Amino acid sequence: MSSSADECSTFLARIASRLGDAATSKSSVIKSSGAVDRTSLTTISAVQAVTALREGDITSEEYASALLERLEALHHLNAFISVDKNYVLEKAQAADKCRAAGAKLGLMHGLPVAVKDSINTKDLPTTAGTSSLRNFRPKEDAPVVASLFRQGAILLGKTNLHELSYGWTSNNGAFGSVRNPYDLSRIAGGSSGGTAAAVAARIVSSGLAEDTCGSIRVPAALCGIAGFRPTTGRYPAQGISPISPLFDTPGSHARSVADLLLYDTVITGDAMLPPFPSLEGIRLGVSPEHFLAGLDPEVERVFNEAVERLRAAGAVFVWADIPNITALLNATTFPIQSYDAMPNIERYLRESGSELSAEQVYAAVISPRVKYDIDVFFRPGGKYYASTGAYNAAVFTHRPALQTTLARYFTEHNITALVHPPTLCSASKIGEEVDVEINGKKLPLRIPYARNISAASSAGIPALVLPAGMTAAGLPVGIEFDAPALMDRSLLALGITLEQILGSIPAPACEVDCA
C-alpha cells in the first residue's frame, strides 16, 4: 500500500471515528506534566502506539526502551529466542530522526513488533525453534515481515515456539518452554507460544505468528489474546519454515481486533475499512456434535456465557451440525501434513540459503515428542506416515469435499460465522506432552488442542479467536469465529463488534506485580 502520510493518517482516523476515542487515545501514557508514563506505555495497543508516534506524543526510542525493560523484567516467560537491544534502539532512533526531518511515515512508523522465529529475518537468526538452525541467517526477510518493515515496523525480537512448529505446547527442548503469563506452570500453547505470551504479558503490543493447524489460535486462546488466521494464500507464506502449503499461513497476535486489522491492511495493502456491524440479526452457526462434545466443564461454562452475551446483543444462533465433518477432517488433516512436511522443509532450507538437509535438521531435534512425531508421522516409512494414495485422496477428494461442505453450511443456513471453543480445555501443565485429562478421562493431547481448530486450517478459511472469559482457576478461555473463504475483512469488522460485547479479561498477574 502507499505509505503517504495522508493515507496513513486517514486510515487511523477512520478507525478512531468508528471505535471512538478509546481506539487511539494516548492520554493514559501522557502525564499531566507532559512527561511520558513509561509503565503505561507497555499497555497501549498497536493502533494507539502508532497514532502517538506519528503525532509526536511519544518517541519511538521512549516506546522501544519501555518494551525492552518489560522484556527483561519478564525474561522468565522465555517468550523470546533472540533480541538485539542495540539494534532495536538504533532503529527507534532512526525512526525518530525520520519524523523530525518531515519524512513520509509508514502505517507502522516506529512500532516494535514480535516475530515468530519460524519467519525469516536477515537481521536476526531464524531457528524454527530447533538447535541445528540456532545460528542460521536467511539471506532475506520473508515477504510478510518485509511488508511490515516497509511501513516502519521495528523488529523487537524473534519469539520462541514449539520445535519446528510440530506441536501445540511450545515446550521446546532446544530453547526451553514458553510459560503462560497467567500461570507459569502451564503452557502458552503452540506452536506460536512465544508471540502470544509476549503480547499477553504486555511485552509488545502485537506480532507476527504462523498457523498450520492452530498455531495462532491455540496460543491466543490459552493466553487470552486475539489471534487471526487469514484465508490461506491471503498473506505470502514464502520464507517461513513450512509444513504444508495447503495449510500454512502467517497471521497476527494482538490484544485488540483493531490491531489485527492494522496488520491485515499493511500486509495486503487493503486500506478500505468495512462497516462494523451491529450484532442485531447476525446469524452465527454452532455445530455441537463435532465442536462441543467432550468440553472441559469450565470451558463449556465460559463458552455458554459468551454465547448468551452475544445473544443478548441481538445475535441469532443457528444450531445445526455440519454433515460428515469429523470424517472429512480425519481423512484430510493429518495425511496432508504427514506427506508434505519433509519435502517442504527441504525446499525451505534450500530457498533460504541453508546448507542443511531436512534429514540433518530432523536428526538434531531435541524435543522428545517432536522426535517421536517425526519418526512415526513425517519420515517416509514411519508407522503413521501417509501413503501416496491417502495423500492424493486427501488433496483431491476429501479436502475439496470439506471445503464444499463448509461453504454449503454457511450458505444454506445464511450464517456469517461458525462459532466454537478453539480448544476443549484451558492451558495444561508444562510437561504434559502425550495426554491431557478432561472429565476424568485421558485424551491424546492432539484432541483437546487440534480437534476444533482443524476445520479452518484444512479448509483454508479465515478464523478469529477472541478472549471469552476466565476459568475459576484464573485461566483464559477463547472463542473462535470461522468465516467463509475470502471474507477476511468482514470477519475482522465483525470482530470489532464481538470484542466490545464479549468484554475484556483481566491482565495476567505479571501485569500487577513483576517482582
Task: Tell me the pTM.
Answer: 0.95
User: Is 132 an annotated catalytic residue?
Assistant: no
Q: What is the Cα–Cα distance from 310 to 312, expressed in whole angstroms?
A: 5
pLDDT mean over 162-180: 98
Residue 26 pLDDT level (bands cut at 50, 70, 90): low
Interval 76-135: pLDDT, tens = 999 999 999 999 999 999 999 999 999 999 999 999 999 999 999 999 999 999 999 999
Q: State residue 39's pLDDT score.
A: 74
For 444, other C-beta atoms within 10 Å of its C-beta total 11
Query: Annotated catalytic residue: which of 26, 91, 116, 158?
Result: 116
pLDDT mean over 458-470: 98
Q: State residue 3's pLDDT score.
A: 44
Q: State residue 2's pLDDT score.
A: 45
Residue 14 pLDDT level (bands cut at 50, 70, 90): confident
Q: State residue 76's pLDDT score.
A: 97
DSSP string, 366-415: --HHHHHHIIIIISTT-TTPPPHHHHHHIIIIIHHHHHHHHHHHHHHTT-
Q: State residue 34's pLDDT score.
A: 60
Interval 271-330: pLDDT, tens = 888 888 999 999 999 999 999 999 999 999 999 999 999 999 999 999 999 999 999 999
Q: What is the Cα–Cα distance from 296 to 193, expressed in whole angstroms?
A: 21
- Order of strands across the sheet that contains 283-286: 80-82, 154-159, 112-116, 206-211, 249-254, 226-229, 463-470, 476-482, 417-420, 283-286, 316-319
pLDDT mean over 5-23: 65
User: Is 442 an annotated catalytic residue?
Assistant: no
Q: Which three cell numbers stand for residue 34?
A: 507532559
Amino acid at 19: L
pLDDT at 512 over 90: no
Query: Annotated catalytic residue: which of 191, 206, 252, 454?
Result: 191
pLDDT at 501 over 50: yes
CB 63 within 8 A of CB 70: no
- Which of 515 and 363 is assigned the larger pLDDT? 363
Domain range list for the chain = 5-432+440-512
Q: Is residue 374 packed enough to be buried (19+ CB in 10 Å), middle (13-18) or exposed (0-12)?
A: buried
Topology (CATH) of 5-432+440-512: Amidase signature (AS) enzymes (3.90.1300)
User: Is 241 an annotated catalytic residue?
Assistant: no
Query: Annotated catalytic residue: which of 45, 82, 205, 215?
Result: 215
Torsion angle defined by CA atoms of residues 353, 359, 363 and 364, in that order, rounded to the nearest 10 degrees: 10
Tell me what the pLDDT averaged over the chain comes to.
Answer: 94
Amino acid at 140: E
Q: CA-based Rg of the chain, rounded to a whole angstrom?
A: 21
